[in-house]
């Protein structure tokens, strides 16, 4: 067990607030949040929020969890890294949805890290009941803090997975980019016409959920370097389906549908 934990959280957005609030409930845990947007040094619940780097420097954390948006993650680490005199005694963490840049950052600075990706968020997940949701840990994460966060997430009945940095980004291109792209393409064809029927309504509900996400989050998912490959595969299937429809080739359609059935049923 870790004792007298001093955790610095970077970012006080939706996920940063959630982690600060929930982690502050743990006994012998002191938390400070660094948020550049905050104007004054203040207390929020059981933790302190500041935009003053001098206060951060005086805090001397044992663990730093970066909850900034993906586009700001490395810059946010850059704000903090030069303040840390003894990097060997601090573990760095992130919740980035794409890991390529943080992998390079940890390696270039020779840092101990705990990198994980909570596969839940305020838009789709019920933050009051996360049972059955998922979190992915990156292999090579520092063991003590890996066990600490594994125990922390177990209280919410989350499913724990482990992948390498590269395996994670490849999976995100498949598991997030593909449904996001599909929903955006569907939304691009939708207008205000009221359409009866459950199939359309279900697709519309999913599309609305995606579009309710922050633009930053959507860009994080879509700007994965592997997303373009997935778009190529989607386009290939669309062209094939277009050919089947234009030629009214029922036999070829049966082959195509059977292939899809094998994929999902």
Query: Which CATH number do you get for residue 45?
Result: 3.40.50.720
From 115, 138, 163, the end of a domain falls on 163
* Structural domain total, the chain: 2
Question: Which DSSP letter does residue 158 get?
Answer: P
- pLDDT value, residue 46: 79
126 and 226 in a single domain? The answer is no
- pLDDT value, residue 127: 59
From 163, 179, 207, the end of a domain falls on 163
Measure Cα distances from 10 to 22, 66, 79, 214 in Å. Answer: 15, 5, 10, 18
Q: Please report which confidence band the pLDDT of residue 184 belongs to, taking 50, 70 and 90 as the band edges.
A: very high
42, 102, 104: which is closest to 66 by C-alpha?
Answer: 102
Query: Which CATH number do you get for residue 179?
Result: 1.10.3660.10
Measure Cα distances from 80 to 53, 65, 85 in Å. Answer: 8, 11, 11
205 and 223 in a single domain? The answer is yes
25 and 45 in a single domain? The answer is yes
156 and 239 in a single domain? The answer is no
Q: Please report which confidence band the pLDDT of residue 253 belongs to, taking 50, 70 and 90 as the band edges.
A: very high
129 and 18 in a single domain? The answer is yes
Statement: residue 43 has pLDDT above 80? no
98 and 36 in a single domain? The answer is yes
| pTM: predicted TM-score of the whole model, two decimal places | 0.80
Statement: residue 87 has pLDDT above 90? no
- pLDDT value, residue 118: 92
43 and 123 in a single domain? The answer is yes
Q: Which domain holds residue 149?
A: 5-163
23 and 148 in a single domain? The answer is yes
The pLDDT of 176-193, averaged and rounded, is 91
pLDDT digits (tens, 9 = 90+) for 97-156: 889 899 999 999 999 999 999 988 655 455 566 888 899 999 999 999 999 999 999 888
126 and 42 in a single domain? The answer is yes
pLDDT digits (tens, 9 = 90+) for 187-244: 999 988 888 889 999 999 999 988 988 788 788 889 888 899 999 999 999 999 999 9
- pLDDT value, residue 132: 84
Statement: residue 39 has pLDDT above 80? no
Statement: residue 44 has pLDDT above 70? no
- pLDDT value, residue 228: 92
118 and 246 in a single domain? The answer is no
215 and 242 in a single domain? The answer is yes
Query: CB-side exposure of 100: number of CA atoms within 13 Å?
Result: 12
Q: Is the dihedral of CA 216, 232, 210, 93 positive or negative?
A: negative
139 and 203 in a single domain? The answer is no
Q: Please report which confidence band the pLDDT of residue 45 belongs to, taking 50, 70 and 90 as the band edges.
A: low
- CA dist 258 and 116 (Å) reads 37
- CA dist 159 and 118 (Å) reads 10
Q: Please report which confidence band the pLDDT of residue 248 belongs to, taking 50, 70 and 90 as the band edges.
A: very high
pLDDT digits (tens, 9 = 90+) for 50-81: 988 888 888 989 999 999 988 889 999 998 99
Other C-beta atoms closer than 10 Å to the C-beta of 39 total 7
From 163, 185, 209, the end of a domain falls on 163
- pLDDT value, residue 264: 92
Q: Angle between the 227-247 and 178-189 helix axes, to the nearest 10 degrees?
A: 50
């Amino acid at each position: 067990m870790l004792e007298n934990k001093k955790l610095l959280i970077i970012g006080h957005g939706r996920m940063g607030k959630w982690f600060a609030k929930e982690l502050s409930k743990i006994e012998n845990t002191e938390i400070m949040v660094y948020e550049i947007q905050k104007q004054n040094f203040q207390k929020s619940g059981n933790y302190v929020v500041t935009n003053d780097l001098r206060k951060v420097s005086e805090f001397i954390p044992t663990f730093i969890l970066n909850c900034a948006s993906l586009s700001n993650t490395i810059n946010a680490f850059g704000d903090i890294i030069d303040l840390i005199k003894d990097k060997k005694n601090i573990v760095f963490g992130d919740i980035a949805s794409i890991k390529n840049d943080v992998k390079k950052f940890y390696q270039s600075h020779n840092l101990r890290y705990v990198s994980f990706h909570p596969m839940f968020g305020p838009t789709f997940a019920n933050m009051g009941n996360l049972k059955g949701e998922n979190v992915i840990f990156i292999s090579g994460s520092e063991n003590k803090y890996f066990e600490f966060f594994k125990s922390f997430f177990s209280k919410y009945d989350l499913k724990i997975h482990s992948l390498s940095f590269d395996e994670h980004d490849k999976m995100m291109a498949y598991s997030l980019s593909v449904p996001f792209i599909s929903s955006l393409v569907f939304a691009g064809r939708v207008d205000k016409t009221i359409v009866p029927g459950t199939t359309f309504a279900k697709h519309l509900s999913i599309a609305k959920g995606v579009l309710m996400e922050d633009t930053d989050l959507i860009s994080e998912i879509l700007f994965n370097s592997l997303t373009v490959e997935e778009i190529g595969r989607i386009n290939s299937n669309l062209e094939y389906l277009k050919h089947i429809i234009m030629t009214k080739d029922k036999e070829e359609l049966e082959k195509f549908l059977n292939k899809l059935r094998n994929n999902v049923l």
